[in-house]
Structure 1
């Protein structure tokens, strides 16, 4: 699938929605919702990091692997945008 016309935020939403479905989380998750409060675990967070790196063909530096950067879809989108601007 060609993702060039889809925004980073929309791509991250798709990745998170995939994880939510796989985990059978029934609570809707919006862009600013805490992913932890939605039911995602620390293991889910690790998987999410890997999925985001794969989706955007980036490597997230260790110093950016913080709860603040992976709190919500919005914070992940900001991180991806920041990292993309550095390349």
Structure 2
């Protein structure tokens, strides 16, 4: 299975974040390097985002990637998803 292009992962991730922000009544589109906690995502929102990312990309995020740094910005999430997808095939 070919790896999705980075814009695809980034766009899908941005859509998930915007959905969570919209549920909170926040009408903002974060930039790729915007710190998500600064636009209104709480730690509970980040847990929900993690679960949404696992479902969206059909992955299980390993404990080694479950850190605040992995979910700091859209860029860090995109890089984490790409890393997990790269190793997920080897672990399966």
Aligned residues: 84
Alignment partners' CA distance in 2, 1:64 and 1:77: 12
Structure with the bigger percentage of helix:
2
| C-alpha displacement of 1:28 | 3.2
Alignment partners' CA distance in 1, 2:42 and 2:26: 11
CA RMSD after TM alignment: 1.6
Is the 8 Å Cα contact of residues 33 and 75 (structure 2) preserved in structure 1? yes
Match of 2:53 in 1: 52
Q: TM-score, normalised by structure 1?
A: 0.89
Structure 2 runs not aligned, ≥5 long: none
Structure 1 runs not aligned, ≥5 long: none
1:39 equivalenced with 2:40 (yes/no)? yes
SS, match of residue 7 in structure 1 = helix
Which runs of structure 2 are paired with 1:2-81 in the superposition (5 Å)?
7-81=8-82
